[in-house]
């Protein structure tokens, strides 16, 4: 048995122990039969296999405090993944534009998007919003699974790896190079210096 399988089985045992304690009559009715319990455990293992221990514990606590009836595996998954203090993406977007964050997840997503670009952007910047929305969704999933929020966020397919500012600078540099080529200005520093001195009528020896 791998470590991950052991972790999932341990999580399922905690779930069933909590169900049995919190809802004893319901548990006896539905899982009192050994075969029914074993089948149910397999279903629950599939449902929560991607959750970390912290997320499972968060779901168990909410199940006891909030649920009047035993949750289904799907509902339990929602309890585990819910992060109460994280703002919705629209609010997070405006916080990122202002550079004032009410949650660490907003800061991480903003830095991954590019704080310089965000400070220069308008709320109607659709392309930048989509980039921030994707980064925020990734950080949200980390929070839901009780994983560290910070860390490198991979560039998505179809997303430009450079920021708009970097693209603009690259274009400006290319325009400058094109202009130098059109005017026959050498791009090599030594050759450019020699040409400038020649045009000014200044002669220097090799030791100058």
Q: 26 pLDDT exceeds 90?
A: yes
Do 118 and 99 form a contact (C-beta atoms < 8 A)? yes
Q: How many CB atoms lie within 10 A of CB 25?
A: 8
pLDDT higher than threshold 90 for residue 114: yes
With both helix axes pointing from N to C terminus, report the angle between 73-81 and 53-66 in degrees, rounded to the nearest 10. Answer: 110
Q: Let me know: does 101 contact 95? Beta carbons within 8 Å.
A: yes
Torsion region of 153: left, alpha or beta (phi above 0 gives left; psi -120 to 50 gives alpha):
beta
**Residue 189 above 50 pLDDT?**
yes
Distance CA 24, CA 29 (A): 9
| CA 195 distance to own-chain centroid | 52
52 vs 46, more confident: 46
Cα gap 129→63, rounded to integer Å? 35
pLDDT in tens, 61-108: 999 999 999 999 999 999 998 887 889 999 999 999 999 999 999 999
Q: What pLDDT band is residue 1 in, cutting at 50, 70 and 90?
A: low
> Taking a C-beta distance cutoff of 8 angstroms, is the pair 66, 22 a contact?
no
Per the document, the length of the chain is 208
**Per-residue confidence (pLDDT) for residue 43, from 0 to 100:** 94
Whether the CB-CB separation of 184 and 192 falls below 8 Å is answered with: no
């Amino acid at each position: 048995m791998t470590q991950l399988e052991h972790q999932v089985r341990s999580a399922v045992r905690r779930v069933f122990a909590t169900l049995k304690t919190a809802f004893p009559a319901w548990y006896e009715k539905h899982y009192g039969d050994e075969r029914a319990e074993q089948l149910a455990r397999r279903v629950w293992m599939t449902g929560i296999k991607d959750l970390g221990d912290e997320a499972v514990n968060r779901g168990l606590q909410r199940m006891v405090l909030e649920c009047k009836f035993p949750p289904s595996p799907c509902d339990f998954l929602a309890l585990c993944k819910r992060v109460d203090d994280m703002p919705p993406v629209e609010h997070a977007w405006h916080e990122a534009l202002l550079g004032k964050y009410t949650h660490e997840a907003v800061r991480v997503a903003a830095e991954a998007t590019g704080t310089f670009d965000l400070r220069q952007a308008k709320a109607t910047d659709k392309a930048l919003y989509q980039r921030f929305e994707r980064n925020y969704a990734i950080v949200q999933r980390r929070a839901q699974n009780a994983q560290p929020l910070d860390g490198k966020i991979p560039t998505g397919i179809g997303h430009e790896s450079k920021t708009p500012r970097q693209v603009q600078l690259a274009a400006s540099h290319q325009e400058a190079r094109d202009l130098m080529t059109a005017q026959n200005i050498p791009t090599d520093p030594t050759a450019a210096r020699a040409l400038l001195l020649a045009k000014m009528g200044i002669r220097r020896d090799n030791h100058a």
